[in-house]
Amino acid sequence: MSKVSTFAKILKVTVSLIAKSIKAGIPLLVYISKELFSGISKRLRFSITFKAAVTYTLIFSMILFMFGIILVASFGSFLFYDAKSSLEKNAKVVTGFINESTDIPEDRIQKYAAIEGINITLYDSQREAVYTTGGRQNAAVSEVISHPSGVFVTSDEYLNLNVPIRQKNNIQYLVIAKSLAQEKLYLFLLMAAIAVAYLLTITIIVVKGSKALQKMLKPIDDMIATARSISARDLNKRLDVVDSHDELKELAETFNEMLGRIQASYEQQNQFVSDASHELRTPISVIQGYANLLQRWGKEEKDVLDESVNAIKNEADSMKDLVEKLLFLARADKNTQRLEKYPFSVNELIDEVVRETKLIDTQHHIRGEMSVPVTMDADRGLIKQALRIFIDNSIKFTQPGGTIRINGQLASDKLTIRIEDTGAGISKEDLPFIFNRFYKCDKSRSREDGGTGLGLSIAKWIIEKHYGTIDVDSVLNKGTTIIISLPV
């Protein structure tokens, strides 16, 4: 039963292979070899050194092989041409012997043939041999019939030159034959020398080439070891940049730059989490403190109850504002924050912002104007949000009675909005960092005065998403000017 089952499995596999080979349109053996090679290559892991050594060895072997074939063919052609020239020269000499005598000069031809190491055979017009200097008569006669003239090689590996001559009005054929044994020996020695040089060269290439490749690719092993040792808690490691100016050095520098960006992003994320936790901890502590106060004795005292409720409400509003800003930045980082662009009047937007600001702030002089009517295609809500962020900052850091101006002008298809105040200003040391998340210029300011430090980051993201730029000009105790440039 087991034998029948095994035979059935073998038969099933065979039929399946035949069907797949027919479907692929290739012979069965070729299909089996292809699948076998594919399976082996998937299971075996070859290093770059091995692959490079094998590839370049095969390429160099093919080059040497083709060079050897060309060399042997060229040398063989030279030997053949030299032998042919020698036979043509001998034919002229023998023809001279024959033309100088009334009869066949057998002695002269015999001696000349012995000196030159050739066989000479004469045929009459019926192609019957009338004289020969060697024992090749039978072999030569049968093949002279098919080669009435010219150069040809007979089956006994002789090079033959068949020349028609004229003697006493009878056409005869002169066939001079020379053995190719010496030429074959030369070719064999040349091929043997090429084969020995070929094997030695391939051996040297495999041995020395593998070592050279290992040395050249050693930085990759170092990169692998370094990359494996890097973890989220240890991002300070960097790859050693090799001395040679090649692709590996460029790869190492690129990898180090990537690690630097990852480390900066990781540290920024940690700082973001730490700052967010700190900002949330304070309102939670305040809410918890007032809740404990109410639980102990604030229920019966109306002043304490009102103070606690107001404080809890204010802190809850602060937490809500912070969470909304964090969610906005999270969506921005993930590129999921949508921009709903449509045409709108910039003049109306600035008038609206100025009017609303005057309603909520009566302690500052708010001014706003546009030089010419401007319509732009953008997300009106986000542009308004960015302007509100800058104006709120100006209100926070400008003394009561100060002035805040919002001016807009159009030049060369670019809208420029300037928000100027007469507030406290920003120091030169703080100016490069004001758009960083949770950054606060004056750490001594309270949360009520300084905010969460996320507004400017949100405003910068909004302006940049509209392909705009922000410039800040500020002087301590004199005021700050925000210059927003947007393409129209």
305 lies in the same domain as 358: no
Q: Does 122 score more than 90 pLDDT? A: no
348 lies in the same domain as 483: yes
346 lies in the same domain as 474: yes
* Long-range residue pairs from 217-222, CB within 8 A, at least 24 positions apart, any chain: 217/48, 217/49, 217/52, 217/248, 219/248, 219/252, 220/48, 220/248
369 lies in the same domain as 462: yes
364 lies in the same domain as 479: yes
Mean pLDDT (whole number) for 78-82: 91
Q: In the structure, what pLDDT confidence band is assigned to residue 10 with cuts at 50, 70 and 90?
A: low
Q: Is residue 300 part of a domain?
A: yes
> Tens digits of per-residue pLDDT, 472-483?
999 888 899 999
33 lies in the same domain as 133: no
352 lies in the same domain as 470: yes
- Specify the CATH number for the domain of residue 354: 3.30.565.10
Count how many domains the chain has: 4
* Structural domain containing residue 31: 1-44
- Could you please report the per-residue DSSP string of 184-231? HHHHHHHHHHHHHHHHHHHHHHHHHHHHHHHHHTHHHHHHHHHHHH-B
- Specify the CATH number for the domain of residue 281: 1.10.287.130
Q: Is residue 230 part of a domain?
A: no
Q: Is residue 476 part of a domain?
A: yes
Q: Is residue 130 part of a domain?
A: yes
Type of residue found at 467 = Y
pLDDT of residue 132: 85
Q: Is residue 233 part of a domain?
A: no
> Tens digits of per-residue pLDDT, 305-321?
778 888 888 888 878 88
318 lies in the same domain as 365: no
Q: Is residue 323 part of a domain?
A: yes
Q: Does 105 score more than 50 pLDDT? A: yes
> Tens digits of per-residue pLDDT, 318-340?
788 878 888 888 888 778 888 88
pLDDT of residue 222: 75
273 lies in the same domain as 319: yes
* Phi, psi of 225, rounded to the nearest 5 degrees: -65, -40
pTM, rounded to two decimals: 0.52
Q: Does 446 score more than 50 pLDDT? A: no
Copy the structure tokens of residue 108.
């002269």
Q: Does 242 score more than 70 pLDDT? A: no
Q: Which of 186, 203, 219 is the last residue of a domain?
A: 186
Q: Does 138 score more than 60 pLDDT? A: no
352 lies in the same domain as 478: yes
> Tens digits of per-residue pLDDT, 365-406?
998 888 788 899 999 999 999 999 999 989 988 999 999 999
